[in-house]
Amino acid sequence: MPTDKTDGAGAPDLSKQSGAAVQTGPDFDGNGRPRIAFEDVSKQFGKNVVLNDLNFNVAKGERVTLIGPSGSGKTTILRLLMTLEELSGGFIYVDGDPLTHRKNDAGKRVAMKPKEISVIRKRIGMVFQQFNLFPNMSVIENITEAPIHVLGQSKDEAREKAKKLLDQVGLGDRAEEHPTRLSGGQQQRVAIARALAMEPEILLLDEVTSALDPELVGDVLGVLRDVANSTDITMLLVTHEMQFARDVSHRVMMFDAGHIIEEAEPDAMFSDPQHERTKKFLQAIL
């Protein structure tokens, strides 16, 4: 059943969905603004052109999985959105607002000031493959640091919210411990809680289970399913967990050499891939 695209908020109505995917292609709210828009984005590292005139949109509340062979540019796309890499060309818009570069009145592309960038960046959160928790802080300090010092929450408020998040990820009793004492799976769940504590509109997940022992993957994916089912956070995820991708995403984009060579609802993508490269890729990993 397709999501009702006419609803004012623009987010897919999750309650009407039966778990699996429903949505294809870009979706816009009443103002015609997607949550994320890549416009003619290019990125090169030295002479290595990784992305070249890439265009795509992600709707509010949409969950999109990026698949494709190693080196096809998936991580680069997420890192550009998180402003961890500098755009070589083009524009990225979040809710219609330029993220790092804008067109000035003369139509010329100009870089934005760090202060302007940080305003937009606050809407985006990211979970990394290597967790990247701060080892010198306790679990709860990891989670409350940014809400207190970036969002301006009071310490009590931030701690209360962090406790709820820790309960949600099944680590309510580990708040005061240092992350180094936790297993990889537990650390990753703390990292998810830390990202969610910033109440982002967009959550970027880059192979968040790839560094985990197989028996710890399930817990982390469980937490993410939970987030997907209980919020309308827009998600962009890179994963090799195809069942998970199938269950939580509305759309799958297949990348090859920085280009989207195929995109579809997950069911269609996984059971009936059209492109030869996609078929080969899926055969190799499924």
Ligand X SMILES: Nc1ncnc2c1ncn2[C@@H]1O[C@H](COP(=O)(O)OP(=O)(O)O)[C@@H](O)[C@H]1O
Q: Are 255 and 269 in contact (CB under 8 A)?
A: no
134 binds ligand X (CB under 6 A): no
Specify the residue for token string 């190693």: 70
Nearer to ligand X, 200 or 258 (CB): 258
Task: Give CA angle at 192 (171, 33), nearest 5°.
Answer: 145
- The DSSP result for 144-163, as a single string, is HHHHHHTS---HHHHHHHHH
- The DSSP result for 25-58, as a single string, is S----TTS--SEEEEEEEEEETTEEEEEEEEEEE
Size of residue set near Mg ion by CB under 5 A: 1
Q: Is 114 helix (H, G, I), strand (E, B) or coil?
A: helix
Buried b (16+ CB within 10 A) or exposed e, 225-247: eebbeeebbbbbbbbebbebbbb
**Piece of the chain touching other proteins by CB under 8 A; list 51-59, 122-130, 245-253, 267-275:** 122-130
Q: Quote the CA–CA distance of 236 and 127 in Å, as a whole number.
A: 11
Nearer to other proteins, 118 or 183 (CB): 118
Q: In 3D, which of 139, 136, 188, 131 has the Cα closest to residue 162?
A: 139
74 binds ligand X (CB under 6 A): yes
48 binds ligand X (CB under 6 A): yes
Rounded least distance, CB 185 to other proteins, Å: 17
Choose from ligand X, Mg ion, other proteins, none: what does 76 bind? Cβ within 5-8 Å by kind.
Answer: ligand X
153 binds Mg ion (CB under 5 A): no
String of contacts with Mg ion for each residue 47-86, x by CB under 5 A: ----------------------------x-----------
**Piece of the chain touching ligand X by CB under 6 A; list 1-9, 66-74, 153-161, 162-170:** 66-74
Of these, 31, 55, 118, 230, which contacts other proteins (CB under 8 A)? Answer: 118
Q: Quote the CA–CA distance of 37 and 56 in Å, as a whole number.
A: 6
Of these, 15, 70, 180, 283, which contacts ligand X (CB under 6 A)? Answer: 70
Specify the residue for token string 């099944």: 170
Specify the residue for token string 């996609």: 278
Backbone φ, ψ for residue 70 (5° rounding): -60, 135
188 binds Mg ion (CB under 5 A): no
Nearer to other proteins, 19 or 114 (CB): 114
- Write out the residues near other proteins by the rule CB under 8 A: 82-84, 118, 121-122, 124-126, 128, 130-137, 145-146, 149-150, 178, 180, 194-195, 198
Q: Which residues bind ligand X (CB under 6 A)?
A: 45, 48, 50, 68, 70-76
